[in-house]
Amino acid sequence: MSAIDYQAIFNEIINDLDEIDEVGEVATYIPELANVDPNKLGMHLTTVTNQHFAYGDADEAFSIQSIAKVWSLTLALKHLGADTWQRVGVEPSGTAFNSLVQLEYEMGIPRNPFINAGAIVVCDILVSCLKNPKEDLLDFIRTSSGIPSIEYCPVIAESEVKTGHRNYALAHMMKGFGNIHNDVDCVLDLYFSLCSIKLTCKQLAQAFLFLGAGGVNPATQQQVITPKRTKRINSIMQMCGFYDEAGEFAFKVGLPGKSGVGGGIVAVHPGKYCIAVFSPRLNASGNSVKAMKVLEALTSKTELSIF
């Protein structure tokens, strides 16, 4: 079977997208995200054999937001293992990523680690496990990705703190149910910092390639996590990586992935590649409209997905 010319496929996809009207809106509930040019589009695909294919604004840094929750889950699994699942589930939410109703109904146990409540619980686990949570988490992200320049963005983090009332409500509700063990402000400081990270599509594709290579980052040859837990993380991304639109993404794209309200999506084809796409206009579920179309077109044109 001949190698796939991903660059040619990118060009085909862009030609097709030119016919699509610009739809969706940038996230405005976090003030810093409202300042992003809504017409940006970047994509970068890195194969497990270190081939690179890019288009557009692939080298422009953007706020990855909830995509970073994959890292916090990975580190929590390294420290707590299967006990993590006693405090957070692995089921799709079927409701908005910041829903309070479902959390109350289910007695403070979040459906999965990628909705806000679940990621807050994961951060609480890390606060309990790590000596210096913010520094240790950032060090893990740098070493696992092979990108030592990664930093938290204090401007975005502060913007989230000022408007994060619902996240405080989620944390205090879970504290009331006994599922937050540490000080709420300390836990949310870690959570907001994690979500503030900015990366380019090229960096994102490298950073998450370990999920396409059995837990090993091909750029560093470091074993980030075991193959068994790599399988678990990919499974949760497949089922829960797009909030209440996870089924739609699985149906149309057929890859494990994770979105963020900064307009980014990262997707993994195990054994083949990792791709990151950035386009800030979001649909009602908080997922990038154009990035989802790009990824749907990619797996359709290559006729390759995990299914």
Q: What percent of the chain has pLDDT over 90?
A: 86
The confidence score (pLDDT) of residue 21 equals: 67
Q: Average pLDDT, stretch 229-250?
A: 94
User: Residue 191 annotated as binding?
Assistant: yes
Residues 6+ apart with CB under 8 A from 252: 292, 296
Q: Average pLDDT, stretch 214-238?
A: 96
Q: State yes or no: pLDDT of 259 exceeds 60.
A: yes
Q: How far is 256 from 242, CA to CA, in rounded Å?
A: 10
Q: State yes or no: pLDDT of 240 exceeds 50.
A: yes
CATH number, span 8-302: 3.40.710.10
User: Residue 66 annotated as binding?
Assistant: yes
Question: What is the average pLDDT score of the chain?
Answer: 94
User: Residue 305 annotated as binding?
Assistant: no
User: Residue 60 annotated as binding?
Assistant: no
Choice among 97-111, 206-220, 290-304 with the minimum mean pLDDT: 97-111
The confidence score (pLDDT) of residue 1 equals: 44
Q: How far is 98 from 246, CA to CA, in rounded Å?
A: 15
Q: What are the pLDDT digits (tens) for 137-165? A: 999 999 999 999 999 999 999 999 999 99
Q: pLDDT band at 2, cuts 50/70/90? A: low
The confidence score (pLDDT) of residue 137 equals: 98
Q: What are the pLDDT digits (tens) for 160-181? A: 999 999 999 999 999 999 999 9
Q: Residue 261 — φ and ψ, nearest 5°?
A: -75, 0
Q: pLDDT band at 30, cuts 50/70/90? A: confident
Q: State yes or no: pLDDT of 247 exceeds 80.
A: yes
DSSP states of the chain as a string?
Answer: -PPP-HHHHHHHHHHHHTTSPP--B---SSGGGGGS-TT--EEEEEETT--EEEEESTTS-EE-GGGGHHHHHHHHHHHHGGGGGGTS--S---S-TT-SHHHHHTTT--S-TTSHHHHHHHHHHHHHH-SSHHHHHHHHHHHHHT-TT----HHHHHHHHHH-HHHHHHHHHHHHTT---S-HHHHHHHHHHHHT-EE-HHHHHHHTGGGGTTTEETTTTEE-S-HHHHHHHHHHHHHHTTGGGHHHHHHHT-S-EEE-TTSEEEEEETTTEEEEEE---B-TTS-BHHHHHHHHHHHHHHT-S--
Question: Could you tell me how many residues make up the chain?
Answer: 307
Q: What are the pLDDT digits (tens) for 86-120? A: 999 999 987 777 778 889 989 999 999 999 999 99
Q: State yes or no: pLDDT of 307 exceeds 80.
A: yes
Q: How far is 27 from 132, CA to CA, in rounded Å?
A: 31
Whole-structure pTM over 0.85, yes or no?
yes
User: Residue 287 annotated as binding?
Assistant: no
Between 243 and 20, whose confidence is greater?
243
Q: What are the pLDDT digits (tens) for 32-81? A: 898 999 999 999 999 999 999 999 999 999 999 999 999 999 999 999 99
